[in-house]
Amino acid sequence: MRMQEIDELSVGGSVSLKGPVKFGVVRVSGSLKIEGDAEGEEMKISGSSTIVGNVKAEEIKVAGSMKVSGSIEASELEIAGSLESDGEIRGGDVEIAGSVRAKRIAGDEVKVYGSAKAEEIVGREVEVGKRSKVRGLIVGREVRIGKDAEVQDVIGEEVYIGRGAEARTVEGVEVHVDSGAEVEVLRYVEEAIVHEKASVGRMEKVESLSRELP
């Protein structure tokens, strides 16, 4: 199918396009549906958008809602609203202040200040902000879990579990667990520093991490 090329598109009402679409700048304050793949420079969603295909852009900012049936790739991805993807989300810098659901989330730096649900969240640096919630496996060189955050499983080189945070399993080369934090199972390769007022169900020293880091 021939690709539609759009230099700039501003949607205030309701627009439906047949893909594949190549764009410069797309701004949506109304409703946009693209049936097919979309590729371009900049996409800003303050309304709602549905893409039946894959999305690739330099910059994607979502303050409204976005649903993608395929994968999403962006150098810079900021989610203040809600984003759902049936595939993988790949980015350089990924910042989630709203809610995101995807099969997998991967970036150089991944920051979650809201809620995220994926089979895996992988980054060189992964930060989960205070009172944020993550469902799925977190893997990173440096992983920081903020105050009163809730996560499931974490694997990292340097892992910091903040004050009052909760985790099911934590595995790291070096692990720090702050006051009031709760960890069911902690596995460490070199060092585990656990505050006297933290709660760790089981702690064991291991030879190596159970998987390779990014």
The model's pLDDT over 66-107, given as tens digits with 9 standing for 90+, comes to 999 999 999 999 999 999 999 999 999 999 999 999 999 999
pLDDT value of residue 4: 84
User: How many structural domains are present in the chain?
Assistant: 1
pLDDT value of residue 100: 98
2 is a domain residue: no
177 is a domain residue: yes
pLDDT value of residue 155: 98
88 is a domain residue: no
The model's pLDDT over 18-40, given as tens digits with 9 standing for 90+, comes to 989 999 999 999 999 999 999 99
15 is a domain residue: no
pLDDT value of residue 1: 63
* Range 4-24 average pLDDT: 91
46 is a domain residue: no
∠ Cα 81 154 105 (to 5°): 35
192 is a domain residue: yes
The model's pLDDT over 112-163, given as tens digits with 9 standing for 90+, comes to 999 999 999 999 999 999 999 999 999 999 999 999 999 999 999 999 999 9
- Strands, E, within the chain: which ranges? 4-11, 14-18, 21-28, 31-35, 38-45, 48-52, 55-62, 65-68, 72-79, 82-85, 88-96, 99-101, 104-112, 115-128, 133-145, 153-161, 166-177, 182-194, 199-205
Domain hosting 169: range is: 103-214
97 is a domain residue: no
pLDDT value of residue 204: 97
Look up the pTM and report it. Answer: 0.95
